[in-house]
């Protein structure tokens, strides 16, 4: 048995998320089906994180166990050939020890949320960013974001359907950066709650629009109540950027 670690990139637009579902297209099912075509084996793909409907990935880490002998290059090429024309690509493939686990060995995860701050309609960025036509005060957004950094109860920013055992998470970094009309919000933590990043982004945009004062972010966090959430950002702007492992 060989354990292959895969680095995955995908456009989440046509998928109902990463995790296999009873109905709807998923990234996990697409890759498992491609692996079955190559190996004739039913194998489970494990990933560093789960993404929701419409969320993209730039470098998701995953692993899969295969009995049949392959070189990493041949296995990667075989998967990519069978995944076409779906918007999924295996960008790297390596052999890892049997005790390495894409999810449980992961020490940190990073997400980025992209906002296009302009009035003109999106063309090439359609389904790949959130268009906010009104001017955003990105400096105010960044200042407000710092009240969320650290270890907190993030109930306010947690989906009602989140299955995590605890709402307490440690947010290592939450930065707001602007380059022209592109506003990027970068979040880093060991793990996140369902919808946590999108919920934080939505409230920060309210600050950027002047609808919320900066201190209201801290107040929403302290409330520990989903009912005070101001706005949940759409999925199209969210990207899983990378997973961190020991030795990296």
Q: Is residue 102 part of a domain?
A: no
Q: Is residue 8 part of a domain?
A: yes
Helix axes 27-39, 72-83, angle to 10 degrees: 120
How large is the C-alpha radius of gyration of the chain? 19
Question: Is the domain of 143 the same as that of 213?
Answer: yes
pLDDT band of 5, cuts 50, 70, 90: very high
pLDDT band of 162, cuts 50, 70, 90: confident
User: Considering the chain, what is the average pLDDT of its residues?
Assistant: 96
DSSP, residue by residue, 80-129: HHHHTTSSEEEEEEEEE-TT--TTTT--EEEEEEEEE--SSPPSTTTTTS
CATH of the domain at 48: 3.30.70.580
Question: Is the domain of 152 the same as that of 174?
Answer: yes
| Contact (CB, 8 A) for 158 and 222 | no
Write the pLDDT tens digit of every residue in 133-160.
999 999 999 999 999 999 999 999 999 8
Contacts of 243 (CB under 8 A, 6+ apart): 48, 49, 59, 60, 61, 102, 106, 108, 109, 110
Question: Is the domain of 127 the same as that of 182?
Answer: yes
Q: For the chain, where are the alpha helices, taking DSSP H only?
A: 27-39, 72-83, 138-145, 196-208, 215-223
Question: Is the domain of 83 the same as that of 167?
Answer: no
Question: Is the domain of 87 the same as that of 145?
Answer: no
CATH of the domain at 161: 3.30.70.660
Of 96, 127, 142, the domain-final residue:
96
Q: By percentage, how much of the chain surpasses pLDDT 90?
A: 93
**What is the reported pLDDT for 176?**
98
- Cross-strand pairs, 89: 9
Write the pLDDT tens digit of every residue in 66-110.
999 999 999 999 999 999 999 999 999 999 999 999 999 999 999
Q: Is residue 103 part of a domain?
A: no
Write the pLDDT tens digit of every residue in 222-238.
999 999 998 899 999 99
Write the pLDDT tens digit of every residue in 11-52.
999 999 999 888 899 999 999 999 999 999 999 999 999 899
Helix and strand tally (H, E) in the chain?
Answer: 5, 10
Choose the catalytic residue: 52, 65, 153, 175.
Answer: 52
Question: Is the domain of 47 the same as that of 87?
Answer: yes
pTM: 0.95
- What's the structural domain count of the chain? 2
The answer to whether residue 163 scores a pLDDT higher than 90 is no
Question: Is the domain of 55 the same as that of 169?
Answer: no
Supply φ then ψ for residue 143, to 5 degrees. -60, -45
Q: Which two tokens stand for residue 243?
A: 């997973």
Report the candidate in 1, 5, 3 with the shortest Cα–Cα distance to residue 92.
5
Question: Is the domain of 76 the same as that of 190?
Answer: no
Q: Which two tokens stand for residue 177?
A: 């950066």
Q: Is residue 101 part of a domain?
A: no
The answer to whether residue 248 scores a pLDDT higher than 80 is no
Q: Is residue 59 part of a domain?
A: yes
| Contact (CB, 8 A) for 198 and 235 | yes
Question: Is the domain of 124 the same as that of 204?
Answer: yes
Question: Is the domain of 117 the same as that of 206?
Answer: yes
Average pLDDT over residues 203-209: 98
**What is the reported pLDDT for 75?**
97
Taking CA atoms, 239 is separated from 65, 75, 133, 235, in Å, by 26, 26, 21, 9
The answer to whether residue 180 scores a pLDDT higher than 90 is yes
Burial 210-244 (b: 16+ CB within 10 A, else e): eebebebbeebbeeeebeebbbbbbbbbbbbbbbb
Question: Is the domain of 15 the same as that of 117?
Answer: no
Q: Is 52 a catalytic residue?
A: yes
Of 65, 96, 127, the domain-final residue:
96
Domain span at residue 235 reads 108-244
Burial 93-110 (b: 16+ CB within 10 A, else e): beebeeeebbeebbebbb
Question: Is the domain of 128 the same as that of 196?
Answer: yes
Of 96, 129, 159, the domain-final residue:
96
Q: Is residue 229 part of a domain?
A: yes
Q: Is residue 130 part of a domain?
A: yes
**What is the reported pLDDT for 23?**
87
């Amino acid at each position: 048995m060989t354990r292959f670690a895969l680095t995955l990139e995908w456009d989440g637009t046509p998928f109902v998320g990463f995790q296999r579902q009873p109905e709807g297209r998923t990234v996990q099912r697409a890759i498992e089906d491609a692996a079955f075509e190559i190996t004739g084996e039913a194998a489970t793909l494990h990933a560093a994180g789960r993404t929701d409907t419409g969320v993209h990935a730039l470098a998701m880490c995953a692993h899969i166990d295969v009995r049949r002998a392959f070189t990493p290059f041949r296995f990667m090429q075989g998967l990519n050939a069978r995944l076409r024309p779906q918007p999924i690509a295996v960008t790297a493939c390596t052999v890892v020890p049997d005790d390495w686990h894409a999810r449980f060995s992961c020490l940190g995860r990073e997400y980025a949320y992209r906002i296009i701050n302009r009035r003109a309609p999106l063309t090439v960025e359609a389904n790949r960013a959130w268009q906010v036509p009104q001017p955003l005060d990105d400096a105010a957004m960044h200042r407000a974001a710092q009240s969320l950094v650290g270890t907190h109860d993030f109930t306010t920013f947690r989906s009602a359907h989140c299955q995590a055992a605890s709402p307490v998470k440690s947010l290592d970094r939450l930065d707001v950066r602007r380059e022209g009309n592109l506003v990027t919000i970068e979040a880093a933590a060991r793990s996140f709650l369902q919808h946590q990043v999108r919920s934080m982004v939505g409230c920060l945009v309210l600050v950027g629009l002047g609808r919320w004062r900066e201190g209201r972010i801290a107040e929403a966090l302290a409330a520990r109540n989903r009912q005070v959430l101001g706005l949940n950002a759409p999925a199209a702007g969210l990207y899983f950027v990378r997973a961190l492992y020991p030795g990296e």
